[in-house]
Structure 1
Amino acid sequence: MGAHGLCNVRHRSSTWLGICDIGRNIEALGISFSNSFIKTISLGNDTAFWNDQWFSNKPFCEKYNRLFRLESIKEMTIDKRLIKEDGCNWSGSWLWNRTPTGRTLDELNSLLSELQAFKFANNQNDSWKWNLSNNGIDLDTLRCQVCDEGLETVKHTLHQCKFAQEVWTRVLKWWGVSSQTIPSLEDLLEGKSDPARQDRPSLLWQAITWSSIYLIWKYRNHAIFRKKKGLGPMALNEIQIKSYQWISNRSSKIALDWNQWLLNTKSFDDHG
């Protein structure tokens, strides 16, 4: 981070200093940490106008360095340079060592032009926000691309998403389980929770579980990369096919009949 970067804000807490230490490690990887934060200015009395990075992609002291050299009080806060008026508007108040001319005047005009887009926020205090979109990460893409009702985590995608819930409900019904309580994701992944057999893990149930997880993940990818949705009614059929193939190809101890497999899995026994 630069000398006047994000971690040079005044009144830094130990927590904030810890964040800045992490930020330096991130910067070392070539990922912009300081530029991923933006500051919301409500009062401007705790933010340096020139030295803090609060509006532009770099502090104004670096971006308009000639003009900064003419500033009489270089640590001046925003509220002393931009006087807040009615609502969120402001008027400039400057104190120069001498009148800007030439290139320095050009910098002043550029600064004023850039600040035309600035408005004070209505919050009580100035605050920092982490702007992931500024780093090329669209916050919308962090949401589940299938149901759009939660952040896309492994647990959400495979277990909590509406589509995942629909798949597991259909599987349980096919498996002959009247209860609609879906086992935890951890038990599903480990193949420990056979709702129809609590005494021991079932090879059949493990095959069905992994086939279901495969199908849910495949559907998620289709929704994102192919923009295809509406696979719900076909999900169970594909799970039945995948699990049947998996068991038939990997276990010589279980003889499966395809038609019977579709109708009643309880009629089969295994020694998993």
Structure 2
Amino acid sequence: MGMEIQDGRKQLMEEAKNFVNTKVGGRPLRYFMRGTVGHGEDVAFWLDTWLLDEPLKTAFPDLISKEADKRVSVADRFISQSSDGRYSWSWNSDLSDSILRSRLEQLIGLLDSVILATGKARWKWTSALDGSFSVKAVKKLLNGDQVQEKCFVLDWCNWIPAKVNIHVWRLEMNKVLTAEALRKRNVGIRDTTCPLCHSEDESADHLFIGCFIASTVWSGVSSWCNIPNIFALSIRDLLSFYKDLGLSEKKRDAVQGIIMITCWSVWRARNNVKFSNSSVRIESIISEIKTLSFLWFSNRSRYKGLDWKD
């Protein structure tokens, strides 16, 4: 439920603290919170979004570099409310440069339209017509930006455990700690080859797609599901493979989850080889995939009561 923010910047920023570094259309999410200054004492002149659709520090970076008090409030920069537009400035050096003087005149031209009032600042969420801030409004804004940028959005599979969904989600973002990912994090490891095939360096694309063991597993899974051989060039292609098969809704849901479970089982097999000195057996991996898929789909999906022959 939406909530209009009326208690100033502190309360609104507390609501949106998890989105401070998020950008929408190239603009930081916090720029969508704009204030009407009121008496101007609780609005930062340079740092808050109040006069433009961005803070003045962003619009006038050359001027703020000369500012002696970068956290000064709006009220402290206004001497009077008279029409002669007199303002109080505190520069750390003279603005002798003609370009800086011209920029200051531009800023003053904007400030001349500002009239301070009584009362505290009122903060509004500019992407909503009524100015209300809500999690739903933020989500809508972020989802719209993702569609515009054609970002990959992982479809959550409801009948497999959350740990498997999260593993695949991290896998798509290249957050699974393969040898390549560890090396990018400056973690020193002696052997970077794939623990399953020992033929190439271990990256996410190799381990889950290009590795001989993984490709054989995918072939076995495809045969079991009676679908075309699962082939992909990237993790995103792999996770979207089920969408283009023209399957019934029931089978599409099943194949989506089975692909995710296969990624989970391949990762488990990799860890057993690397940390428990176990030998890799393709038939064991496929057997685990079939067992987990049947167990979870028949008990956790909306198609409960499935027989093994189904």
Q: TM-score, normalised by structure 1?
A: 0.40
Structure (1 or 2) with the larger CA radius of gyration: 1
